Amino acid sequence: GLKKKERLMLEREINKLHLRLGGIRKMSDLPDALFIVDVNNEDTGVNEANKLDIPIVGMVDTNSDPERIDFVIPSNDDAIRAIKLIVGKMADAVLEGQAARKEAMFDDGRDDADFVDDEDFDGLGDEVDDEALLGKSTLAKIRDTDDAYDDDDYDEDEN
């Protein structure tokens, strides 16, 4: 069939589509809301959610347009620590909401057959360590930066 260059281009396109759309394979319905960390980078998701009237909760930096986001979280969407903090809080809120919903369903006498509990979801709260969320090179950079701050002899009170 295909020539080497054509096959390579096709493989790249397939890999790109798997990277961007692979997570939606198991979705049976549209989501009730969408949480986006970098609204500039996830432009396709923002456009699609706006077309389908899906509310968007987004971390919006100074270089982003907040007009297309329904619930803006002003934040630095480039800093790993800021992302980790906000995503952790969002995950904790989701878990808390799921627990409250399950409890309300139980109090109403309904069974929890309609309740979808994602057993792979770990909450990303304080109990998850950095190694589970960040790569080795990122952790090394953070440690190097922390060491640089610790080694500084500069004292603001002296000036």
Residues 27-60: tens digit of each pLDDT: 788 888 999 999 998 888 899 999 999 999 999 9
pLDDT confidence of residue 27: 77
Backbone angles phi, psi at 153, to 5 degrees: -95, 0
Q: How many residues does the chain have?
A: 159
Angle at the Cα of 97 from the Cα atoms of 125 and 122, rounded to 5 degrees: 30
Domain 22-78: give its CATH architecture: 3-Layer(aba) Sandwich (3.40)
Instruction: Domain ranges for the chain, please list them.
Output: 22-78, 79-146
Residues 123-154: tens digit of each pLDDT: 444 455 666 656 666 677 677 766 655 554 54
